[in-house]
Amino acid sequence: MSTIREQALACRDAARVVAALGSEAKRALLRDMAAALEAQSAAVLAANAEDMRQATAKGVQGAMLDRLRLDEARVAGIAGALREVAELPDPVGVTTRRETRPNGLSVERVRIPLGVIAMIYEARPNVTADAAALCLMAGNAVILRGGSEAIHSNLAIAAALHTALRAHGVPEAAVTVLQDLGREAMVELLQLVDIVDLAIPRGGEGLIRFVAEHARVPVIKHYKGVCHLYVDRAADLGLALNLLIDGKTSRPGVCNALETLLVHRDVADAFLPRATQALRERGVELRGDERSRALVPDMHAATDDDYAAEFLDLILAVRVVDDLDAAIAHIRRYGSDHTEVIATADQAAAQHFVQAIRSAVVMVNASSRFSDGGELGLGAEIGISTTRLHAYGPMGAEALTVERFVVRGDGQVRHPQSRAQC
C-alpha cells in the first residue's frame, strides 16, 4: 500500500470522528485551532521565511511571492478567519424539507458531510487553514495538497492545527497535509474513488486542467473568471462607470475582477471616452475592437485571445455591441461561467440578461467584486465553483455537505400482501 493511500485511509477514518462532532464541539475546536496558530506563530513565520528564501532563490517575485509571504499581521488574519468560521451556522444535521406521505411515512431531507475532501491549490498558505476550518465545520476531513513553494509554511500551520485536534480527541489525519508533491502522488490522490468524496482544485489553468484530466473522483472546478460588464443602452452611465472602476481596479488580481467591457452602441460615444479617461488615470490599459477604437483612437486593438483572457492585471478588453443579444452572444462565446454584470435601468433588459446568461453569478447594477462568499452572505468560502453541479458560484460550508433522505415509519410495507400472517 502506498503512502498516499495510507494517508487517505487515515483521513477517512478521521472523517468519521469529525462527522460525529456536535456544533459546539466543532466551534470550540476551531477556536482552539486559532489560538494554537497564534501560539505557534514564531514557528510558522520561521517556516515561511524558509519558503520565501527558496522561492526567491528560484527567481519567484511579484504577486506570487507576495501571496506566499506571511507576517504577524497575516497570521493574525488567518487566526481571525478561523474564529469567523467557528461562528458560522453548522450545516450538518439541518433538515431542509419534511413531508408526511399519504401512507404515514415521514420523509426528511437532512444534510450530512461529504466525507473526505481533497483540496488542491497553489502558493497561498492561508488556504491551508481556511480550507481546513470550513471542511471541519461542515463535518468533513480534508487532504491538503498545496504548492511546493509553500510546503514549509503549510506543514507549520498544520502542526499548529494538529495541536488543537489532539486536544479535542480528533485524529490529526482529519487535517492531512501531503508532503509528496509529485505529479504521480497527485494522480494517485485523484483516483482514490473509494476514499476521496470530492476534489476541489483552486488555481491556474494548468492546475485545473491537470486535475480534470486525471481525476476519477468527483471534481468541482474553481476555474478562471472572465467577468463581463455590459453597459446597456438604458444604463445610468455614472453608475456604470463606478461599477467599471471598482470591477477593474479595486483588486485586479482576483477572479471576480472585470476583464471585458461591452458597451451598447447607442451609448458608446457618451460612455467610452469618459470611461477610458477614468481607467487610464488609474493605470489601466485598454484593448478594443474597431468601433471602440473609432471613439478612442489611441486604444490598442483587441485580439480574439484578449476576449478570452483572464488578465488578472490592469488590462481591459472592450467591445461595442449592437444590442443586448449581441452582448449575451459575446459572453456565451468568451465567458467562463463565473460572474457577469449588466448596468441598466431597464427592468426588462435586466430580466432578459439574467435569464439568458447561465453564469454562476449574475449581477444587475452591482459590482462583479461582490461575487464572493462573504459578500453574498455565506460567511466564508472555499472558492467559487464554475462547475454547474452541486454548487455553482461561491461555496460556503453548506456546499461541503449533501442532502440525504431519512424516512421514519411504523411498519409500512410497499406491497401489503407481503405481510406475514403471524
Q: Which of residues 271-330 bind its own copies (CB under 8 A)?
A: 274, 278
**Site residues (CB under 8 A) for its own copies, limited to 97-136:** 99, 101, 105, 107, 112, 114-115
Residue closer to its own copies, measured from CB, 40 or 359: 359
Residue type, 323: D
* Residues between 147 and 186 that touch its own copies (CB under 8 A): none
Pick between residue 178 and residue 243 the one whose CB is nearest to its own copies. 243
Query: Cα(276)–Cα(221) distance, rounded to whole angstroms?
Result: 34
> Which residues in the 380-399 window bind its own copies by CB under 8 A?
387-394
- The single residue among 219, 263, 268, 295 that binds its own copies, judged by CB under 8 A, is 219
* Only segment of 35-43, 161-169, 175-183, 405-413 that touches its own copies (CB under 8 A): 405-413
Nearer to its own copies, 3 or 106 (CB): 106
Residue 382 phi/psi, 5-degree rounding, is: -95, -5
Least Å distance, CB 42 to its own copies, is 34
Q: How many residues interact with its own copies (rule CB under 8 A)?
A: 76
Nearer to its own copies by C-beta: 42 or 354? 354
Which residue has 458560484 as its cell numbers?
393
Binds its own copies (CB under 8 A): choice among 28, 39, 212, 308: 212
The cell for 312 is: 488578472
The answer to the question of residue 265 lying near its own copies (CB under 8 A) is no
Does position 366 interact with its own copies (CB under 8 A)? The reply is: yes
DSSP string, 117-129: EEEE--S-THHHH
CB of 117 to its own copies, least distance (A): 11
Least distance from its own copies to the Cβ atom of residue 297, Å = 22
Q: Which of residues 188-207 bind its own copies (CB under 8 A)?
A: 193, 197-198
Q: Where in 33-178 does DSSP place strands (E)?
A: 95-100, 106-113, 116-120, 141-145, 175-177
Look up residue 207 and give its three cell numbers. Answer: 492546475
- What per-residue string of b and e applies to 275-307 under the rule 16 or more CB within 10 Å gives b? bbebbeeeebebbbbebbbebbeebeebeeebb
**Among the listed residues 360, 380, 382, 395, the single contact to its own copies using CB under 8 A:** 360
335 contacts its own copies (rule: CB under 8 A)? no
Query: What CA dihedral angle connects 119, 123, 125 and 127, to 10 degrees?
Result: -40
- The C-alpha atoms of residue 349 and residue 92 are separated, in whole angstroms, by 40
Interface with its own copies, residue 41, by CB under 8 A: no
The answer to whether the CB of 91 falls within 8 A of the CB of 138 is: yes
Which of 85, 129, 361, 380 is close enough to bind its own copies by CB under 8 A? 361
- State the Cα angle at 387 between 189 and 256, rounded to 5°: 110
If one counts every other C-beta atom within 10 angstroms of the C-beta of residue 269, the result is: 15
Residue 238 in the binding site for its own copies (CB under 8 A): yes
Give the contact letters, 9-38, x = binds to its own copies (CB under 8 A), - = no.
----------xx------------------
Binding residues among 42-61 for its own copies as defined by CB under 8 A? none
Phi, psi of 229 (to 5 degrees): -115, 120
